[in-house]
């Protein structure tokens, strides 16, 4: 069962992961032009004028946003198993 806010957290992380995957694929294929749908997602993430930023820098900024999102939304605590 999901705790309140858990589905929002997972959805946000999934969107960030999709953005990072798109950027990494563009970088892998040496693309320099950012597709509009990726640029729109980056603007919603808070990155202004993404078309003017090189893709490697967009990857770095998106990764920082992902880390910030993880810190802002507390994860479920896991109980460590005793070692044998």
Task: Give the tens place of pLDDT for each residue, 27-48.
Answer: 999 999 999 999 999 998 888 9
Q: Is 79 within the bounds of a domain?
A: no
Dist CA 9 CA 41 (whole Å): 17
Residue 12's contacts (CB-CB under 8 Å, 6 or more residues apart) are 69, 73
Q: Is residue 80 part of a domain?
A: no
User: What total of structural domains would you count in the chain?
Assistant: 1
pTM: 0.72
pLDDT tens digit sequence for 47-56: 899 999 999 9
Q: Is residue 21 within 8 Å of residue 37, measured between CB atoms?
A: no
Distances (CA, A) of 15 to 22, 49, 62, 81: 11, 19, 11, 32
Is 81 part of any domain?
Answer: no
Query: Is 64 a member of any domain?
Result: yes
- Full domain range(s) for residue 34: 6-72
Residue 64 CA to residue 23 CA, distance in Å, equals: 14
Quote the CA–CA distance of 27 and 50 in Å, as a whole number.
14
Domain membership flag for residue 78: no
Query: Quick check: 79 pLDDT over 70?
Result: no
Structural domain includes residue 83: no
């Amino acid at each position: 069962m999901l705790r309140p806010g858990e589905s929002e957290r997972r959805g946000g992380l999934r969107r960030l992961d999709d953005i990072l995957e798109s950027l990494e694929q563009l970088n892998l294929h040496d693309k320099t032009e950012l597709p509009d749908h990726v640029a729109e997602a980056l603007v919603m993430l808070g990155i202004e004028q993404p078309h003017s930023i090189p893709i490697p820098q967009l990857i770095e900024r998106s990764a920082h946003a992902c880390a910030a999102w993880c810190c802002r939304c507390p994860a479920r605590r896991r109980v460590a198993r005793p070692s044998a």
